[in-house]
Chain A
Amino acid sequence: MSSSDPTGRKAVAAVWRIESARITGALTRYTGDFALAEDLAQEALAEALVTWPREGVPANPAGWLLTVGRRRAIDAFRRRGTRDAKYAALAHHLPEGGALTGATDPGPAPDDVLWDPDRIDDDTLALMFTSCHPVLSAEAGVALTLRVIGGLTSDEIARAFLVPTATVQARITRAKKTLGAAGVPFEVPPAAQRPARLAQVLSVVYLIFTEGSSATSGDEVLRLDLAGEAQRLARVLTRLMPGEPEVWSLLALLELTAARFPARRGPGGETVLLQDQDRRRWDRSAIARGRAALAKAARAGRGYGYYGLQAAIAECHAVARSVEDTDWDRVVALYDGLARLAPSPVVDLNRAVAVSMARGPAAALPIVDALADTAAFKGSHQLPGVRGELLRRLGRAEEARAELERAVALCGNERERAVLARKLAQLETPAH
């Protein structure tokens, strides 16, 4: 305990963030039941929150947590065993535990049976694949990943996503039931399923990052932490799957995007767009790490994938000293690739912006106009926002005003609306 942590709960939380994946992984292997293991891990954490602030953090905190979790497992098996012969058999075959020995103190370091260092990596990876299983909704995958691998409490997750704690708990409970009902095995998926399953894992990590980096609402500080946690998860994945270029690409994309965080707010907290950012505030070490990760992805020699292309675009911005200095032709080419690989109206719109920078607004306007009837942009401020900007650059002020006014009216995000409103105001002030 220290002055910054008078209750000692922060220290428990810190240990948990480091150990939760290993504890849950080992308990899943021990019980053969992921949902049960997750409950047991939470029970062990709850016990630590009561005991450690009183008695101090044990010398081997992971061993302590594991011993408690295992004792609770045996209790659970015995309870279930009265109803189910399978659990009764399990309870009798397990090594010594509180329920069988009557011990109440978890004692010092436990067994080597549970703690096989050669299996920790596989277990962590299997946990990732389980928590991000395609039978789960995206929000369930996010909540489960943050709790199991990230070691965040339901409270912390709830605060980050601005929902009640009960909602997060319900999501996790439902997710575990879904996994159980679908009979999802605790394993690293076989090679044939690997690419699709990996894509799912990466999308969950990316979602955590965008949730943390989006400016929509909520406690900014906490949300930045969420982005940091996503970066950490991506680094963990590069260690677990060093041969997968898209894993390196995702890490690169997150590092290169996070590098711009220090410059994305003005003195009054307003959003500063990429083209207006003070690039000297960008985090150079994050850019260096991101570029190194992207180079690693490129060395696989398979070309860039979904995240690789986005990371390469982010790299174009990261290395440019100014908007004018940016290699816009390369950005356009990378968007061409992205549009072929993962066609989407949003990619087309971003590509149009890049085209306007590379070849001028007149070249981009037909691309934007072709998107006008796209369902994805119905009721969205994005299209009129871009179109208004292009018209402004073409000197068609009246049409630009109409588009920007439409964008302001449609934009639901306060910060983004302020940016659009500023543009509109500048339009009405004649240029000097």
Chain B
Amino acid sequence: MIAAPHLSLADLAPLLFVFGAACVGVLVEAFAPRESRHPVQVAVALVGTVGALVSTLFLAGAHEVTAGGALAVDGAGLFLQATIAGLGALAILLFAERSLDPARSAFVAAAAVPVGSPRDRELATSERVQTEVYPLATFAIGGMLLFVAANDLLIMFVALEVLSLPLYLISGLARRRRLLSQEAALKYFLLGAFASGFFLYGLALVYGATGSVQLRDIRAAATAGGTDVLLVLGLGLLVVGLLFKASVAPFHTWTPDVYQGAATPVTAFMAACTKVAAFGAILRLLYVGFGTSEWTWRPLIYGVAIVSMVVGAVLGLTQTDLKRMLAYSSIAHAGFLLTGVIGLGPGGTGSGLSATIFYLLAYGLSTIGIFAVLTLVRDGDGEASHLSQWAGLASRSPVTAALMSLFLLSMAGIPLTAGFTAKFAVFRAAIQAGAWPLVVVALLASAVAAFYYLRVIVLMYFSPPSVEGPTVGVPGLPTTLVLAITATATLALGIFPGAVLDIAQRAAIFVG
């Protein structure tokens, strides 16, 4: 007789909201008439994500392990879940924008129609849209919420796939430049599946070494046994799988291609939410599972943090496409985030965890905002993402240029923006943990990266506009809302960071 595990449905409310909305979305796709699908799908997805956000707020302060030890409901997990749900809702709003593109959507009318066929040309100019992207994105958000709460490597693996598989598909759904979009989906899929193979083999080795896949048992085994080769090898493979998702160099090769090829709202979604989810899982695995055997992972994380910061900062300099430049910027930011991961002192002391989760929130908000600005500037063939097309944009649209500058300054970490507070917090945590050489590298990398952010600002304000420049679209309500929220939050987190930093500090607890 097998006893049913204890399952607290209230603790699972965020997950139930999002997965419920995703299932309803699939039914809407099947049964609702085509004309009414778009508004209904947007509403369902928003109810799911906002419901998840609100339920995490109600759960604040919870501290327990449920579902037979498979799920952890704790401060850090809930903070990250709230971040993912909120950023996910903003991304859904970007998906729902219909007034920018002349064809009324950023997504393809029928993904199954071959590119360049007569039917494809006919559909490209029609107002038909495919609404499958909403349930797919909702499933991905559900996977991310599960990923940061998983207290069990098997659940972590399943969540990894639940978040990845829909992402592979939606990165191939761009309406314009479809060949690039499909190519991005193929590259993302093949490399993503490769990385999950590593994660799974690591899981198998850890299971062999400890006889369990629950983080609590792994911690006990690591504390008692210590130097088991299988365990260390397994940890290495697990971390490789997770670093791939977080687009940390040297596992970053897919990032620029996928960011450039996918539709810009999808890129915003991937860049913000996936990063939060992947770092949530990395933090939980390292702090909860291997927190007592830090020597096994600290040198590895130290090394990849340096590689990631340097690669992101230096290669970002050579880019001429804004979306690719932001991809390298996200690689550099992954390195800065790892600086925060290093910032956890022995025995769970230090401010590394709270600094990292605050950084994820600040970075996610700025990222969604910057990609939202990118969707506004367009030429005849979709978004004008080439750097030269942005010359003199300030004289054409001062508001767009000002918003872009704000988000770029936040990315660069200039004071009075969210990026500065976040960077300050992770660097302070790393110094407190004695990792000052890492912080020196991080400061140098920030200085190099600041050059390419500021270059865009200089280009917008001090270059003469070209005659055949891009047009700046008038955004509809969804994009306006996203821009307002992200710009306000970026400023607020920079000027009055106290309240949110305080919440992050109180939330920075993992249940073991």
Binding between chains A and B: no
